[in-house]
Structure 1
Amino acid sequence: MHDKWRRLVSEGTTNLEMFDHVILMTLDSLLKCAFSYNSNCQRSTSEYVLAIVELSDLIIDRRQKILHHWDWIYWRTEQGKRFKKALSIVHRFTREVVQKHRAQISQQREKETDFTTAPRRKKDFVDIILLSKDEDGQGLTDEEIQAEANTFMFAGHDTTASAICWTLYNLARHDHYQEKCRQEVMDLMQGRDGHAVEWEDLSNLPFTTMCIRESLRLHSPVQAVTRKYTQDMALPGDRTVPQGAICLVSIYGTHHNPAVWQDPHEFNPLRFDPTNKEGLASHAFIPFSSGPRNCIGQKFALAELRVVVALTLLRFRLTPGVNPELGNKSGGVRRLPQLVLRAEGGLWLQVEPLDQHNLEE
């Protein structure tokens, strides 16, 4: 992605729409980490990636058309037919990945039985769920594994992309915080050859992590989650929520509630300084939901956020950009809640490459 940015800048394009670039990067990363699949989707389109993007667009389109909420109408529409076609592409791809991984695991076991010293392949997400067993020693079926893999892909790429884009946006609008994060990353990388971030580095970026968490509070990628009551719940005023009712928990409302957060619309990373967290309600910060059904990929997402933000600030200086259609600075962007939180007309930033000489000065 950064190579693409440098090429665009060299050609005279410095004003970039973040979501266009970052979503492809998170898809690329997730395909490698979850499926061990090199999609090369940032350089050339693939049938699978195009299908994922189309499904995401069609879901939004269907939600906004009330008659399309009924399956017997929707599947007869042009959009419904496109949805089924894209869905079949995604299911075929996932099915082939699962079958390939199952064969590789079987081959690996045969090699281990033969006491060979063949190098072991690193486990990815599909490997982990293929090898998982319940208390009775039963594993998941191929169909169940495909469902888990699809969930991880769909719920993982655009949510993380949204979090990255809004974090970069907030740092572009607050240059002093951006510089403080950049200095923290530079100090961490001091004396190293190259710009590789190691796993142990992630816990050594405290201020950058504070900025990421504050951005997740201010611009949560997911706006709300729902839960179904498993029993009657008594409320104040002699009211009861009956068993089976569905409750919508507003993440946006919680994160912008002045009774929970002081000056909730201000970007202030110091809220997440460990010394300031005393007295904060346990569920005041819930970008990944909470409880036993919280986000399965939150550790993965936070790791990716730290890596991407750190390397981006090490290589580029970011400032608010201009929406070509509206002509306004992105300081005036309007939130656009879709499957994830986006921005009306896109989220535009100016990118300026930083060479090592400039950084040392």
Structure 2
Amino acid sequence: MVRAVNARADDPEFRTRIDHTLESFVDGQRAILAELGPDVENLADAAIGFVAGGKRLRPQFCYAGWLVAGGTPDEPGIVTAAAALEWLQASALVHDDLMDGSDTRRGRPSVHRAFEARHRDEARHGDPVGFGTSAAVLLGDLLLSWCDEMFRSNGLAHTDEAFRFLDLCKTEVVAGQFLDVAGQTRESLSVAEAMTVVRYKSAKYTVERPLHIGAALAGADPELIAALTEVALPLGEAFQLRDDVLGVFGDPELTGKPAGDDLREGKRTVLVARAAELTDDAGRTLLRTSLGTPEGVDAVRDLIHASGALEAVEDDIARLETAADEAIDRLGSEARQVLGPLALTATRRTR
């Protein structure tokens, strides 16, 4: 059952409170790390720098779940709990950039590249690449630890119930990430297989579990949790498909990453699976030989467009948006007020 609420999850003031909460938390961690010397204190700088400029989608969906389940809009504990999800996201992105060999994130050097550059600038001994790799692994692990530490401190009555969904979220995103990595070792993935990666790497992690966590913190019943899943899975899948489109056709000035990175890295996305499905034998040969090579990016991008794969994925996004929209309507007008604008933010975006 959805309870009456007079707030929106995409409230800019809520995002500001998330930013301040993250900064305050890092200030406390900095005091601990500073005792170990400037090298370790650099981790605090890297952490707060990395989360700056994020979209804060997961905290906002957590807040949405809280509001839909009848949570008080100005409760400070939900800000702490929602902000903790940014550390989980940051941990995943630091490791993701390392695995993908990405040079940038949000228009700035990725963490492993930044530590590589620091090694060179300070003329340190040893291998700068190895130093950057090690630093990124350790920072990502630290951020994951911070997620649990911060979440546990929220002071809300239903934290134990919500932790069950947070634990599921962590397991699912690692499994989805591994499916993505394993997919790159195969010649091709079907559309259904690529959509499984989308569901576990992104849809559950970005939308479903944050909604569940927020709702559980407000004492939601199982019926509401199930109803939120009907919203979350199509919306989260549409979110990731939009991400895939932006990874190939997006403006680097807006996305903060070079266009075509997914193609360069050989990602078997739904776009690529749709292209393989819709093209001819010559096109499939081109995918087999050019995907995952720097020189093949333009040819694969052109094939995705010419084969109709881009149009097909845009149709997929529209279909999923409709399914999510209908599920929001089933929750009622109060849920529409909370979730409607946030749903548009997730799928109608340019970065």
Q: Check whether TM > 0.5.
A: no
- The structure in which a higher percent of residues are strand is 1
More helix by share: 2
Q: Which one has a bigger Cα radius of gyration?
A: 1
- TM-score computed with the length of structure 1 as normaliser: 0.30
Please report the TM-score for the alignment, with normalisation by the length of structure 2: 0.30
